Amino acid sequence: MAPSTIDTGQSVARILLEIGAVHFRPADPFTLTSGRVSPVYVDCRKLISFPKERAKVTELAAALVRTTIGLEQIDVIAGGETAGIPFAAWLADRLDLPMVYVRKKPKGFGRGAQIEGEWRSGARMLLVEDLATDGGSKVTFIEAIRKAEAVVSHTLVVFHYGIFKASTETLAKLGVTLHGLATWHDVVAEAEASGMLKGADLDEVRAYLAAPDAWSVARGGKG
């Protein structure tokens, strides 16, 4: 039986906490690529160094594809440069599907390719990355896939922040559904249950999850 969404979120959240991929720092916030500041930070790339844990995450991702998207809807797994590439490779292997990877911009030499690998015109690609914050970085990959005469209707990430409406709205406007294995709500629930996050730090993180843009602006970051 495939795991439920709740079970998947709990499992992935627990794994990320156990391997030290999650950091809580309310008193000294992290600055994200977007310019926002955050009391929390996740580095899914740490999973590449933990064989058993990455195998479990791949298993859960494969189950999500089968039960939520439908394996019959996917012809090729496409990894986004660079963090998405290993996750795409593991998932493609588990599902016995071809894989390609998508560059952030075309190579400046040779064929000038933006997508590496083999696919046919009209191939249905599942875009895979490590995480999604506001969904903006996915647009470049989606546009490249469509320019290459392939189809993309779904993107899957190990971690979806789950607190920015733009993450789903931006992709929905492009006709793409975002699927995440775990969110900050899953991680915070697990961290609280284990005693890793409590007291004033827990309250501060919850305040951030409830209003991330306002929390950021109040601390000198972008909203």
Structure tokens at 10: 């709990």
pLDDT tens digit sequence for 193-211: 999 999 999 999 999 999 9
**Buried b vs exposed e over 40-75: b needs ≥16 C-beta within 10 Å?**
bebbbeebeebeebbebbbbbbbbbbeeebeeeebb
pLDDT tens digit sequence for 62-98: 999 999 999 999 999 999 999 999 999 999 999 999 9
Predicted confidence (pLDDT) at residue 2 exceeds the cutoff of 70: no
Structure tokens at 37: 């500041």
CATH class of the domain whose range is 5-216: alpha beta
Q: How many residues does the chain have?
A: 223
Kindly list the domain boundaries of the chain, sorted by start residue.
Answer: 5-216
Q: What is the mean pLDDT of residues 124-142?
A: 93
pLDDT tens digit sequence for 171-195: 999 999 999 999 999 999 999 999 9
